[in-house]
Each structure stands twice: as C-alpha cells, then as structure tokens.
Chains A and B, each alone.
Chain A
Amino acid sequence: MARVIVVTSGKGGVGKTTTSASISTGLALRGFKTAVIDFDVGLRNLDLIMGCERRVVYDLINVVNGEANLNQALIKDKHCENLFVLPASQTRDKDALTEDGVEKVLKDLTHMGFEYVVCDSPAGIERGAVMALTFADDAFIVTNPEVSSVRDSDRILGILQSKSRRAIEGREPVKEHLLVSRYSPKRVEDGEMLSYKDVQELLRIPLIGVIPESDDVLQASNQGTPAIHLKDSDVATAYQDVVARYLDEERPLRFVNYEKPGLLKRLFGGK
C-alpha cells in the first residue's frame, strides 16, 4: 500500500490545508509520486491553496460513487511532476463518504504507483475527520501554541488511537508527529505564548517541526502556491525541514529562538 499520511488537528484554522499542500509538494519534489486528497466534503479548499480550482471536474465523492475514475478526477499539479490533487465535493453531503469507498480509492492509488497519499482532514471530530484518519499510517497533528488548539489536538489523538484501522486491528499504532504552527519566538520569550516544548510536554508525542507565524502564508494562498515553494521564506524552509525529518534526515530546529535585545534597549526602548 501507499503510505497514508493524515494531516489533522481537531480545531479549524490552525494550518491543516497549508500543511497538506506543503508536505505533499515537499514529498513530490523529493521524487515520490504523491496524491493529496481533500476530505472536507462540502467545504472544498485544498484546490484553492494548490491553485487548481479552475481545473476541478470530478471529485472524491464522484470517484467513491463510481461516477468517475481516478484518472479523470486527479488533477496534475502545475508546479510538480509527481503531484496530483483529488478535490473534495462541494455539493454532496458528507454521508456519501464511506469507509469502503475510501479504502478502494487508496488501493487504486497504490495500483497506480502512488507512494504517498496525504489526506487533508476537515476540522472537527465528525465523519469527514474520522474518514481522513481511518487508514492513516502517519498522522501530522497540526497544533497552534494556544489553549483550544492544544486541547482539540489531544481529542483528535484519542480518536486516532481508538478509531484508526491500525488501532482497531491491533496493528502497530499510527505514527504521530507533532507540528507546531503559527509560532512566534518573541511572544514565547515574553511569556505570552506556550513554547513548543510546553505543547510537546502536554501532548506527549514526538515533534516533527515548528512553523513560524508569517505573513508569507497569506501571500502563498493568495496566489494558489503551496507555501513550501516561496523563495527566501522561513515558512518554506521550515516545511522543507519537516519533509526532510519525515524522511529520516537530521535537521536541527530553526526559527524557535528569539534574539534578545540588550539590557540598555530593554530599559530605554520598547517593552
């Protein structure tokens, strides 16, 4: 089977789709044939972030229902040779997503030679989110250093450990990776924001990376270009590091330390 990665969080707006787009792009740039699937049935978004919204003809539900085959529904990414997008349906209701249907799509993708399938989970803990994580081998838990996001991540970890196929069948558990996003080293330094170490201590899963808070993410989504493609951007570098660590390469953490101003500056200028 292709390796299935779910990008999930429980809470909305933390950076799941941004992460799905960048991780799948990163894997494709490394030469792996990769598909990225939008599981947010009803609220399609991944196509916009990937910049392929005008080329959507068929979607995941069409494929599940047998109204289109995968070759018709998969959209080839405009930047990468090995990357394909399977968009979510905007019109159907989410009960159309069945476990058997999703399993068949994943099997068919495997037969087509895909090595990685990235599942972009919707927010919440309802059907769509559960479907996205059911067949996962790896889970990226995207968490903002903020109370509600951390709590929701813990909830979704509980669901992962009880409802994923690996859990139900008693196989080796889904490999969990903590991705702390929208991180501001200055605010952490000032004691205004949980540090990535705090978040990791609370959730007790291995850290795969820290994505700094950045204006670049909006610039990337404005253009429909995954953030990992941006030139001279901390966010792009941070995502490249995440992909490298996922592929078992050593990369030290970056963008987590704030350069402290000197004592004089603290006494006379700024707060």
Chain B
Amino acid sequence: MSLLSYFFGTKQKTASVAKERLSLIIAHERGTNRTPDFLPALQRELIEVISKYVNVGVDDIKVQLEKQDNCEILEVNITLPEQPK
C-alpha cells in the first residue's frame, strides 16, 4: 500500500480542499446575507415589549436566523441587566 501511495500520491487534492472551504463559506454567507427583512423590525418590537417589564437596552437583545440544511433556527438572546442591590 505504501509503495502504491508513493507512486500515486496521498496528499489531499486541492480540488477537495476548495470544495470544503467553499461549502463552509457559502453556508455561512447564506446565513448572514440572506436574512429576511423582518429581523430588524422584530428586534425593535421585542425591545419595546421587554423594556416594558425589564430595563433592557438595544444591545441586550440579539436576534439571529441560522440555517442548517432544510431547517431554520430563530435564535433570540436577551441579556437581562444585573439586579441592583
């Protein structure tokens, strides 16, 4: 086997490296660049509602839409302020 691999080479082919890199970057960019238009509005309204009850700022709420294969995940992350006293 080692003799064969000496002749034919076992180094990973550059085309497969390219494919790997592309599948990662494209998946990532599809997630970030194709966010639907409602996200900023959703974020704004969430802040309005939550700030009625808790004192939160604009930066305390993160809304993200991630895509994995055929499944979309809406991730809402709210950081509550530390309790005074």
Contact = CB atoms under 8 A, between A and B. Distances in A.
B18 A147 contact: yes
Nearest to A148: B22
A162 B34 contact: yes
Interface in B44-85: none
Nearest to A146: B18
A270 interface: no
Contacts of B25: 151
B16 to A, nearest CB: 7
Contact of A147 (B7, B21, B29): B21
Interface string A118-148: 0000000000000000000000000000110
A202 B22 contact: yes
Interface string A179-205: 000000000101111110010001100
A115 to B, nearest CB: 33
Question: Interface SS of chain B: helix, strand, loop or mixed?
Answer: helix
B14 interface: yes
Contact of B13 (A146, A158, A162, A192): A192
Contacts of A161: 34
A162 to B, nearest CB: 7
Contacts of A203: 26
Contacts of B5: none
Given A202-B22, A267-B7, A154 B13 contact: no
B2 interface: no
Contacts of A202: 19, 22-23, 26
Interface string A157-176: 01001100000000000000
Interface in A2-59: none
Given A155-B33, A158-B33, A194 B19 contact: yes
A264 B34 CA distance: 52
B16 A191 contact: yes
A227 interface: no
B15 interface: yes
A156 B25 CA distance: 15
B66 to A, nearest CB: 16
Contacts of A154: 26, 29-30
A193 B30 contact: no
Contacts of B14: 191-192
A151 B7 contact: no
The 7 closest A-B pairs by CB, nearest first: A191-B13, A191-B15, A198-B19, A154-B26, A147-B18, A194-B15, A202-B22
Interface of B: 7, 13-16, 18-19, 21-23, 25-26, 29-30, 33-34
